[in-house]
Every structure is written in C-alpha cells, then in structure tokens.
Structure 1
Amino acid sequence: MERLILQSDWDEVLKEKEEKAWVSYKQGVQQSIHGSLWNQGVSTSGVPYVTGSDGFTVQEVTKRSITVSYTDDSVNLYRKFVAPSTSFKSIHSERKSVVSLDVTGGGLGVSADSEGKLRLWQTDTGEVRRELVGHCADVYTCQFFPSGIVVLSGGADMQLKIWSAETGKCAATLIGHRGAINDTAIVDRGRNVVSCGRDGAVRLWDVGQQQCLGTFQEIGGEVNSCCLGDVSATLSLEAGDQATSDREVGTEGKLLVLGCENSTVQGYGLQNRKKVFEFPTHGPVNTCAFLSEVTAVCGTQDGHITVLDLRNIRVPLQEWKDSRSAILCFCPYKGGFFTGTGDGSCFYVDSQFHARVELTGSDCDPVYAVKCDGSDVYTACRDSRIRKYSLAVCGESLV
C-alpha cells in the first residue's frame, strides 16, 4: 500500500516562520521520495501558511491538522495528518510504556504501564483519580464494563480482577489461568467475561461467583487477542451438547473470535463452545475486532491487515500489507477502524478500505492501544504518553 509519512512533531515545528518539516512518499519496497513542508508566514488567525516541495502540496492547514498530497505522472495521493489536542505526560512514569488503555463516554480513562501500574484518570485533564493496586506483575489488558464504573484487568500474574472505579477497591479475583492473560472480552453488561492467555486457554467466567463456566479446546497454542460479536441475525450457531448453566447470561448468538500465535484466526460459538472456523494468516495474530455483525478484522506481527466476511470465511474481503511494521491494536469506528502499529503509525481505514487520516505524535514508538469515547480518540504509546485527538478535527475523512 502506498502512503505518505510526515515528521511526527510537524505541528510544533511549523509554528515558526521559515521552519521546515520533512515528508515522504513510499510505495511498497520502492525507494521513498522525500520532500519538505515549510512555514512561509502566519495568518492573522494564527494559522501558518505552509507550502511544499518536490511534488508535495499542502491542500489545507489548521492548528491541529494538515492535508498533504503527492502528485506525479502516475500518483495522486493525499493524507490528512492530525496532531494531538492534548498529550498526557504524567499519568504514567517517564520511560514506562503504556501498554493498555480504555475510556468511557463519562470522562474516565484507565491504563496500565510496563511497570505494572494500573491507574484511573480524567479524560479532560489527565488527573489521576485512583491507583488500582493488587496485581503482582505487569498488567497487559484493562477495560471498562458497559456501566463505565467497573474495570476488568488481567496480566502476567495469571489473575483477572474486577475493580470499582468509584472506590478503587478490587471486588473480585478470577483465578484459573496457568499463564499470563493477554486479553479479555465482556459479555453484554458483564455478568460473564472471557479471557485468553499465553497458556493457550480461553475461559468463560461467572463474575458473581468467581468461577469458570467453560473452556475452549484445541486452539493450538498461545492466544493473543479475543473479541465478541452478536451474529444471531446473520449466522446460525449450533446448540451445545450440554445444557447451558443458568449462570450464563447473553451468550446465545455470540461469536468469539480469537487471534492466535500459531498464525490463525479462529471462531467459536460462545454458548456451545464449538469451533465455527479457522482461517490461516501470514503470521502471528496480535489483534482482532468486529466491524459489524458479518465482518471482522485481524492484524499480524508481520504487518498484514485482513478483513473477513464471516459468512464466507474462505476468501478475505480485503487484505494488504505495507511498511508499517506489526499491527498491534484496532478500534472500530463508523464501519472502519483506527489501528496502531509497531513503527508508531496510527491511522484510520474507512469502510471502503481507504486510509485517509493519520494521527501523529509518536516518533517511531509503538502504539499499543487506541480507543474512542465518541468525541475523541486516545492512544497508548511506548514513549509513556497518552495522546488525545479530536474527532471533529479528523472531520469528514472518517465517514
């Protein structure tokens, strides 16, 4: 896939007259074409007047975004680059990677770092409200329940923990994994949750009684990610061989998709525990997400993105690879998705599989998580920063 690459701190550099930011055009393994953007002055509204060189043209510029095109005899490509409205520096310690993140529409965020710190904070100011203390090692995954006042976390200590966001207290601990927990999914309102881990186990839990209700078999090794979708209107899932426990709530019609280290994406009926499909990928699958009732997306360690039609799993709807390194996370939005990568890129792919918007700020540091609260997008990065981007600035390019 062809792409434009812009200097990560372009918004700071181009504030000053005569200052330049570098820009490049890259297609596959071909040699990159380099150019510059430079500030030739500032308007009365404070917006810089920026021009380009060597085939690069600035179509539009604001304080937080710049739209750049590259044109030659065979290429006509544009991208909108969006700078963060806020960069939170003090939620986590400097030089500690932020490895997991979630936000609510109610103004709360939760994140975990490579030091094992799990913290609740305000999305408007970045003020830390609670530190959730109880895990014995690194925390790899954290997310809010639909209520927005309860948090689910898991990590290297093989424990799942349920936290009150109001008090910061741990309300329940779920024990059963024999390896680190890599990811979780919440069933409906959260009476049941799913976890997957390095022990190759995937478990369905009853939160209230802190018991495992069932496991998924023959996965074939470590499970890196999981996601749940309601496919009851589009796919028929067989009934299970045994009666369903009355402690299971909302599992009927749910498809569980797993991203696996053995280079497969696998689908299971959540209620019947039966495998529905297994799709071979180009490499270990780091992340997966539902885009709709009939489509899901997965990303691999070698940089492939694959969109699957769950009604016809044999042939991908779309598949591509570019030079963005490992695909680390997805956040579905308006039929498309944001994704973060190992080389620090964070971009939006629309429902037609076009990448038109890049979120800038990371200087080649991996983006481990990206989340949306309906008005802003948040990213978690190896450089210890949590960055916040306005969806309004991204504009029509996300439709």
Structure 2
Amino acid sequence: MPDSPVIFIQCDWDDFLRKTQGSLWVSLKKRGDSNNIHGKITNAGFDSNESPTFLATSGFSAEVLANDMIKVEHKQSQISAVFVAPTKVYTDIHKKSIPCLDVTTTGLCVSYCVENNLVVWDFNKEELKLKLEGHVGEVYKCKFFPSERVVLTGGGDMQLKIWCAETGRCPVSLKGHRRAVTDFVIIDVGRNVISVSKDGSAKLWDCGQSSCIDTLICTSSEVNCCAITSVSPSFPVGEPEDSPSEREIGTQNKILILGCEDGTVHSVAVYSRRKLFTLVLKSPVNSVAFLETTHETDVEKKFVVGCQNGELHMYGVTNPKELIGSLWELNSPVLHILPYKNIGFLVSHAEGSVYFLKNNLKEKLFSLTGPDCDPVFNMATDGRFVYTSCRDGVVRRYNLERVLNRLSQK
C-alpha cells in the first residue's frame, strides 16, 4: 500500500453533528510533506430526514453514514476516509493513563492505570468489582484466560501473577525474569504461558506448579512484544533434542515471534526450541501480531510488525524473509496491533490515531476517533465491540460489528 495523504478530523466531530451552525476542522496531510491542506466543515442545518447539511471549504465534502460514522472526502486528491466515534465512553474507572486492558464476552474488563490501580470492573454496569493488589510498580499487560474467570498480569517487578477474577486472590506468582515482563501469551486453555522480558528472554511457564519449564530463547536486546500461532503439521518446526516435560501441554504446533528494542524480530518453534528466523528492521519493534485469512481450501497465515518510527511490515509465515508489504503513513510510533476476526486488524499510534486495515494491508476501511492527540496504548475486543485504553484516562467502546456491516452495504 503506497504512502498516500491521510485525512484527519477534529476528535469530537460527533458532538458537532448535533449542533446547528457548528463547525469542525479537517486536514489532509502526507508524511514528510509540509504542504498540508486545512479545511472547515460547517453544519448548515438539518434536512427533512433530520440529517445535517454540510458546507465545507478547501475542496472537502462530508456525508453522515450513521450516528457514529462520517465520511470525509477531498475530491481533488481523490482521498476519502471514514471516521467512527465511540458509542460509549468510560471516564469514572480511571483518572490517569491506562497502559493495558482486556475484556470478556460476559461484560468484565480488567485494566491498569498508572496510579497503581489494577482493577476488574463491569463495563455494562460501569461498576468496580475488584482491586488486584500485589504488583510492585507498573503493570505492562493484563489479560483474561480463556475461561474468563482468571486474569494473568505481568509487570515491572519481573513477575507474572495469576488472579481469580471473582475474589481478587492471587494464588500464583511466576518469578524468574531478571528485568520487567513486557508481554506474554497464553497457550490454549492456559496450563502453560510464555512471557518475554527486558532481560532479552522468552520463558515457558507451568501455571499449575508455578514454575519455569524452560527458557525458549535469549536475545541480546530487550524484548518488547510477542505473539503465538498454530501451524499445520507440514510446517517444519523440528523435533526437540531432549524429551519435553510432561507439564508442557499444547506446544507441538506452536510458533512464537518476538519484537525487540534493537529492531530485530525473532521466531522460535516452541516444542523443539528451534530458532526459525531473524528479521532486522531499522526501528524498535513495539507490537507483533499473527493474522489469518480463510480461503476455500486453506487458511493463509501472515504476521504484521509495528515499529517505533511508525512503519508497518507484513510477512508470510511460510516465507518470512519475503516482505509482503509495508505501510508508513505516520511518523508516530505504532503502539498496538489488534487482529479482528479474519477480516483485518486495528493499529494504534502514539498521536492518537487508530485505524482498521484489511489483512492484505492494501485497504484502510475506517479510523476510530475520540482521543485528542493522546496515545492509544492498548486495545481489546469481545468479538462485537472494541475497547481502547488511552493516556487521557478514558476507556472508549466502538461497535465494530455494526460498522463493518454498514460499510459492506455501501
């Protein structure tokens, strides 16, 4: 996907739709180009269907697609963009920056605020349920196990902790890293987990016995992120040199990728501990994710890498040395990549941009709005909605299922 101009819009544009004679700003910008185009969209009133009538400057035009969706176009540049506003904004749970969160399908959210406030809360009732106390320092990641009754966290105190989401008890602490735990993945139902750390290692843990099964890989750089996927039996993952522990469950067909501060991406076959490949990029890697696209006869697997300089790179799992495509629209760091079903993935940036790309990296469907240039650190989905956590202390909810259905009708 070539780097093309990007349309930006005032973060509270959805409030403007309800105001007669209100106005908002829009801009068309291209990375590295100072000749930006700035315009204004004014609500001139409402028609017989109670839809706003727009007047726009600088060659822009606008069309309302739904209460939370607007399409803006710059005709001369042949560039258009769809913007999506949050359907729900949570301001009462946290008051400061929120580095991480996760949600369940049953209405629970776990989130961490830099006030040292790790909590479980009900996002339907907007009701605080539990405060999870035990970490010393910042929590880098929090996630529900597949059962949705247990929470896993990792943080600056070099520990992973397992919590009961119903009582707040923490019966298990996993210790062994020498520096902060930056990310982790849960294998299958969660008998084993893998963590990565600023100490450069990836460790495989047995949750039931609170012990480290093995160190999968040691790198020369801080590890910022990781992701895991299953591969087909024909994929050459190799065999282990030694008999694996009977406590190691479900690792036979798993491969792990790690993104590092020195710009490298490493992959290891979990069961055999075999190093699969190393990629060298020119900027620190902040987020990695596997993507799946279902075809008639098979499932195509790729992975996408998000970097500190704003670049996105996509590779195939079967041929990782061959670059499928890159996107570099913003100089702002990529902070998080969230796959959504088998359709596409969301990318969040440090200047507040969040956009949805299809799995081919060639189509940007829409952008999420709300933050006013504040970093969006983390995203989570329950399948229907997507939730974002931001430096402004706000959790925002977007109805992605309805947005995608609406766009498919256009």
Range of TM-score over shorter length: over 0.9
Q: Counterpart in 2 of 1:349?
A: 357
Q: Secondary structure at the match of 2:393?
A: coil
| Inter-partner Cα distance in structure 1 for 2:216 and 2:250 | 17
Pair 1:323 & 2:326 matched? no
Structure-1 separation of matches of 2:216 and 2:385: 36
Q: 1:394 aligns with which of 391, 399, 403?
A: 403
SS at match of 1:69: strand
1:297 is matched with 304
Structure 2 portions without partners, runs of 5+: 293-299
Aligned residue for 1:216, secondary structure, equals strand
TM-score with structure 2 length normalisation? 0.93
Paired residue for 1:164?
Answer: 164
Question: Structure 1 stretches (4+) deviating beyond 6 angstroms?
Answer: none
Counterpart position of 2:184: 184
Q: Secondary structure at the match of 1:251?
A: coil
**Which residue number in structure 2 is paired with residue 227 of structure 1?**
227
Does the 8 Å CA contact 2:100/2:112 hold for their aligned counterparts?
A: yes
Please tell me the residue identity of whatever aligns with 1:332.
Answer: P
Residue 71 of structure 1 deviates from its aligned partner by 1.3
Task: Look up the match of 1:3.
Answer: 6
Corresponding residue number in structure 2 for 1:16: 19
Q: TM-score, normalised by structure 1?
A: 0.95
Tell me the distance in 2 between the aligned counterparts of 1:125 and 1:6.
Answer: 31
* Equivalent position amino acid for 1:53 in 2: T
Q: Which moved more, 1:365-374 or 1:108-117?
A: 108-117
How much does 1:207 deviate?
A: 0.1
Give me the whole-angstrom Cα distance separating, in 2, the residues matched to 1:175 and 1:45: 62
CA distance in 2, matches of 1:55, 1:393: 30
SS at 1:110 equivalent: strand
Question: What does residue 374 of structure 1 align with?
Answer: 383
Q: Please give the alpha-carbon distance, in whole angstroms, between the structure 2 residues aligned to 1:389 and 1:324.
A: 25
Contact 2:11 2:371 in 1 (8 A): yes
Aligned residue in 1 for 2:348: 340
Q: Determine the structure 2 residue equivalent to 1:90.
A: 92
3-state secondary structure, aligned to 2:190: coil
Equivalent residue in structure 2 for 1:48, among 32, 49, 52:
52
1:358 aligned onto 2:361: no
Equivalent residue letter for 2:358:
D
* Alpha-carbon distance in structure 2 between the residues aligned to 1:44 and 1:88: 34
5+ residue gaps, structure 1, are none
Moved more, 5-14 or 191-200: 5-14
Cα RMSD for the two superposed structures: 1.6
- Residues matched between the structures, number: 395
* Distance in 2 separating the partners of 1:398 and 1:158: 44
The alpha-carbon deviation at position 299 of structure 1 amounts to: 0.3
In the other structure, the counterpart of 2:315 is 308
Query: Percent identity between the aligned chains?
Result: 38
